[in-house]
């Protein structure tokens, strides 16, 4: 249910998409969506399910079932390359209605998956498998702030862009989360939730101190470190397989007030030059003394490399890092930004980010990670850029993102939450996009070759749960690592019939 960890597309990406003429692109995309809507195979909900849901959601606009005129409008798939078709899409307006929908679905033998008003990479938010009942939480946008302890209560259907403004207006507060405004908090706060401030404050889910959850038996429970602890542990990293979070209580931080946004770009360059720049970046971010106020992303494109990021501090403090000497041959620029809302807006105001964040498309994504102890060797980096220079990619619209993590997220024990990858320093996310047709085998093969080269084909390697990869073998092991056995035991206790499921969610342990 989640968009990229820290998706900061560099300015050079814009030239790729501008060359497609944005207005014409939008016109053609609308035609594509219209054609796709008529081609989707319809699920077959039973009359009993329809009748049950109709008694709960009496307003007609709060439910859509397959076969109806406006069904495709409400399905609104984000990743068009995964044609998941739910049996019904529901829009409850309270936790009690969410619980009643879960009861209807479970009693009639239908799986359930939540959608937090935003979008998900693997369409798990649309049931994860054909014939599921989707619970769209877009109407659950309650908000309040306790000004004594600065803990905020946030409805799970609130988009991240709205969360940012609500926290600002309630006392100039903030929390770690990603930069795409279109992502729903329900998925983001429970799958990980990285952002530029995560090295200082932890992930989004590390801010969650309490939640309200609807379980498979349709009960509504409060969960925290002192109440229903196992459920609380499970939803902080794997919620979509365990229940529906309807409300969060989160700790907040004072807003950062001053920051420097920086960019260093190397246009084209030989594989040797590109590899040399990457090695310098990896050395920089692997420095154990690197300030936590420093966030960084390296992006590899068809026509070069761009390093972007944010330093939380003044320009004078930034200058002491001597960034211009770190990346010889790269062209650098900086922008000083004052005010948290201005900084967040700057992250989001990019054509590519808006396109990925809000418009359905055909794409495929993979992820893997490195700890400080197993960073890529110099030889592996050389082979990677040789592969990039010679491989058939099937499209110009591909990119590799390397995101710096670490900091506060590394200090939290692996077993503290179900999110397991606490030792990660660098995440890699690879993308390939096709605007008007399904992803080709050539595109998939390219990402597969990259992934195999950098991981040594190790199975299972660490993968980020928010980057759903339907072709990933041993997906549950890759997403939740050593925390998977405990997740399966909790699953067997609270959801033994596997009501909340998608193709890669944890299965109940065999008792």
Q: What is the CATH number of the domain that holds 485?
A: 3.30.465.10
Q: Which of 402, 241, 264 is nearest to 323 (CA)?
A: 264
pLDDT per residue as tens digits for the range 403-414: 999 999 999 999
Query: In this structure, is residue 60 part of a structural domain?
Result: yes
| C-alpha distance from residue 500 to each of 135, 239, 253, 497 (Å) | 11, 9, 33, 9
**Number of independent structural domains in the chain:** 3
Domain shared by 66 and 127, yes or no: yes
Q: Give the pLDDT of residue 126.
A: 38
Can you list the pairs that 438-441 forms with residues at least 24 positions away whose Cβ atoms lie under 8 Å? 438/80, 438/81, 438/362, 439/81, 439/362, 439/363, 439/364, 440/394, 440/395, 441/394
Structure tokens at 362: 């055909």
Model confidence pLDDT, tens digit, residues 441-499: 999 999 999 999 999 877 778 999 988 888 888 899 999 999 999 999 999 999 999 99
Q: Do 308 and 162 reside in the same domain of the chain?
A: no
Sign of the torsion angle spanned by Cα atoms 501, 160, 362, 5: negative
Flag whether 31 is in a domain: no
Calculate the alpha carbon distances from 190 to 66, 277, 303, 418 in Å.
29, 35, 36, 9
Do 203 and 242 lie in one domain? The reply is yes
| 348 and 438 share one domain | yes
Model pLDDT, residue 138: 93
Among candidates 56, 54, 48, 61, which has minimal Cα distance to 110? 48
- What contacts 205, CB < 8 A, 6 or more positions away? 189, 190, 191, 192, 193, 236, 237, 417, 419
Among 136, 160, 176, the domain-final residue is 136
Q: Is the pLDDT of residue 274 over 60?
A: yes
pLDDT at position 16 over 50: no
**Do 117 and 80 share a structural domain?**
yes
Structure-block tokens of residue 49? 């399910």
Q: Is the pLDDT of residue 400 over 60?
A: yes
pTM > 0.75: yes
In a 13 Å sphere around the CA of 241, the CA atoms on its Cβ side amount to 29
Residue 193, burial from CB neighbour count under 10 angstroms (0-12, 13-18, 19+):
buried
**Residue 35 forms part of a structural domain:** no
Confidence at residue 353, expressed as pLDDT on a 0 to 100 scale: 44
For 365-398, how does the pLDDT look when each residue is reduced to its tens digit (9 = 90+)?
Answer: 999 999 999 999 999 999 999 999 999 999 998 9
Domain that holds residue 174: 143-255+481-494
C-alpha 182/C-alpha 163 separation (Å) is 11
**Residue 294: its H or E element:** strand 294-301
Shared-domain flag, residues 338 and 427: yes
Determine the average pLDDT of the residues in 135-157: 97
Check whether 511 has a pLDDT greater than 80: no
What backbone torsions phi and psi does residue 138 show, to the nearest 5 degrees?
A: -60, -20
- Asked if residues 183 and 2 have their Cβ atoms less than 8 Å apart, the reply is yes
Contact 463, 479 (CB under 8 A): yes
Average pLDDT over residues 320-342: 89
| Domain identity same for 282 and 180 | no
How does pLDDT run across 64-114, given as a tens digit for each residue? 877 776 676 666 677 777 777 888 999 999 999 999 999 999 999 999 999
* Residue 321 and residue 415 in one domain: yes
Give the Cα separation of 260 and 249 in Å (integer). 31
Q: What is the CATH number of the domain that holds 341?
A: 3.40.462.20
How would you classify residue 474: left for phi > 0, otherwise alpha for psi between -120 and 50, otherwise beta?
left
Are the C-beta atoms of 419 and 361 separated by less than 8 Å?
Answer: no
- As a whole number, mean pLDDT of residues 307-312 equals 94
Beta sheet of 112-115, edge-to-edge order = 63-65, 88-90, 133-136, 112-115
């Amino acid at each position: 249910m989640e968009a990229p960890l820290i998706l900061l597309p560099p300015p050079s990406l814009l030239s790729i998409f501008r060359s497609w003429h944005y207005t014409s692109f939008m016109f053609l995309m609308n035609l594509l969506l219209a054609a796709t809507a008529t081609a989707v195979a319809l699920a077959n909900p039973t009359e009993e399910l329809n009748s049950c849901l109709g008694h709960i959601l009496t307003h007609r606009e709060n439910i859509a079932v397959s076969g109806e005129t406006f069904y495709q409008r409400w399905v609104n798939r984000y990743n068009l390359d995964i044609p998941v078709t739910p049996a019904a899409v529901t829009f409850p307006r309270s936790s009690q209605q969410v619980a009643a929908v879960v009861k209807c679905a479970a009693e009639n033998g239908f799986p359930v998956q939540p959608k937090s008003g935003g979008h998900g990479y693997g369409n798990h938010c649309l049931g994860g498998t054909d014939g599921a009942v989707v619970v769209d939480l877009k109407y659950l946008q309650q908000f309040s702030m306790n000004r004594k302890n600065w803990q905020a209560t946030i409805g799970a259907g609130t988009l991240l862009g709205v969360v940012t403004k609500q926290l600002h207006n309630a006392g100039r507060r903030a929390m770690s989360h990603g930069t795409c405004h279109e992502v729903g908090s329900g998925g983001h706060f429970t799958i990980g939730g990285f952002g530029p401030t995560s090295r200082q404050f932890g992930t989004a889910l590390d801010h969650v101190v309490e939640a309200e959850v609807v379980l498979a038996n349709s009960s509504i429970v409060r969960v925290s470190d002192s109440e229903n602890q196992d459920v609380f542990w499970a939803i902080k990293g794997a919620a979509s397989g365990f229940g529906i979070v309807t409300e969060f209580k989160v700790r907040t931080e004072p807003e950062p007030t001053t920051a420097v946004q920086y960019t260093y770009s190397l246009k084209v360059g030989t594989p040797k030059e590109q590899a040399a720049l990457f090695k310098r970046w990896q050395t920089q971010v692997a420095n154990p003394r690197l300030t936590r106020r420093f966030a960084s992303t390296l992006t590899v494109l068809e026509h070069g490399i761009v390093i972007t990021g944010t330093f939380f501090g003044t320009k004078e403090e930034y200058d002491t890092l001597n960034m211009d000497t770190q990346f010889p041959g790269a062209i650098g620029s900086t922008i000083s930004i004052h005010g948290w809302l201005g900084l967040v807006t700057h992250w989001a105001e990019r054509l590519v980010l808006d396109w990925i964040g809000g418009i359905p498309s055909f794409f495929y994504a993979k992820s893997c990670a490195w700890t400080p102890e197993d960073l890529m060797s110099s030889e592996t980096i050389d082979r990677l850029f040789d592969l990039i220079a010679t491989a058939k990619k099937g499209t110009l619209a591909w990119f590799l993102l390397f995101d710096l993590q670490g900091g506060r997220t590394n200090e939290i024990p692996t077993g503290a939450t179900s999110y397991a990858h606490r030792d990660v320093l660098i995440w890699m996310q690879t993308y390939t996009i096709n605007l008007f047709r399904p992803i080709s085998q050539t595109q998939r093969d390219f990402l597969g070759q990259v992934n195999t080269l950098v991981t040594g084909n190790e199975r299972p390697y660490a993968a980020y749960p928010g980057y759903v990869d339907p072709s990933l073998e041993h997906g549950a092991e890759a997403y939740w690592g050593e925390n998977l056995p405990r997740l399966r035991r909790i699953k067997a206790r609270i959801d033994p019939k596997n009501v909340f499921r998608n193709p890669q969610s944890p299965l109940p342990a065999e008792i």
